[in-house]
Amino acid sequence: MEILARSMYLSRIEGSGRWMVFFSFIALFVASILMPSNAIHSLTHSQVLVPKLKDRESVEIYTVKKGDSIEKIAGKHLVLPWQLRKANAFKKGVILHPGDKLKIPIINWRKKAYVGKASWYGPGFHGKPRADTKIYNQEDVLIAHRTFPLTMKTRITNLDNGKSIIVAVCDRGPYARDVKGRFTREVDLSKGAARLLGAIGPGVIRVFIEPLGVVYMC
C-alpha cells in the first residue's frame, strides 16, 4: 500500500510538471504574437554595434600615387605619420604601391589651440637643414613645433602685447627640458617671427598657439 501511494504521488507531480511546461509554452507563444514587431527587432539588434554616421565620416579614402610615402601623404593631409599608420594598422617600414587605398583620419586641429611658452632660435641653426629638409634662414617667418604636422598654418599671439602672426610649422622643436625632464617651451620662433611678435628682447614669451587646420607652405 505504501509503495502504491508513493507511486501515485510521483505520477501526480510528473503530471503537474507536464502541464506547467505546456502552459509556459502557450504563454510564450501568445506573447510573441502580441509583442510589437519593432520591440522584437530591438531585442534582436540590441547587442549589435553599428558605427555612427559621424564615425564613418571621420576618415577619407586616398589612392596611393607613384612616389608617395607615409610621410608625404601625411604632410598633404595634415596628419602625423603615426596617425596614418594607426588608421591603416600599418607597421613602421611598410611599402606602399600605386593604387593602394589608404584611410586618412580627419582631425579637427582647431580644437587643439592652447597657451604655452615660446622662445626663438637663430644664429646656432642658421644655414642648417630644417625638419622639412629645407635650409633654415633665421630671417624667415616660421615656427618649430614638436607635434603639429609640418606645413600646418598656425596663428601665434603674444599674450603680453597682443601682437599676432600667421606662420607655417616648418621645423621640429623646441626640446629644452627642466630638471624633471619636462619640456619647458611649446614653440620655437624663427628670428624673423620673434621680431614681429616682440620676442627678441624677452627671449621667452607666453603665447596662444592656434592651429588653423590648413596647409600653409613654408
Quote the DSSP letter at residue 112. G
Question: Is residue 51 pLDDT above 70, yes or no?
Answer: no
Full-prediction pTM beyond 0.95?
A: no
Provide mean pLDDT across the span 173-194. 96
Cα 201 to Cα 73: distance, rounded to the nearest angstrom: 39
Q: Over pLDDT 90: what percentage of the chain? A: 60
The fold adopted by the segment(s) 110-215 is Barwin-like endoglucanases (2.40.40)
Give kind and range of the element (H or E) at residue 61. Answer: strand 59-63
On whether the CB atoms of residues 159 and 115 are closer than 8 A, the answer is yes
Would you say the CATH fold of 110-215 matches that of 53-105?
A: no
The model's pLDDT over 56-109, given as tens digits with 9 standing for 90+, comes to 348 899 999 999 999 899 988 989 999 999 999 998 788 999 999 999 998 888
Question: Is residue 9 pLDDT above 50, yes or no?
Answer: no
Q: For the chain, how many residues are written?
A: 218
Looking at residue 37, its pLDDT comes to: 38
Q: Where are the domains of the chain?
A: 2-44, 53-105, 110-215
Q: Which CATH number fits domain 53-105: 3.40.50.360, 3.30.300.180, 3.10.350.10, 3.10.20.90?
A: 3.10.350.10
Lowest mean pLDDT among 19-28, 30-39, 67-76: 30-39
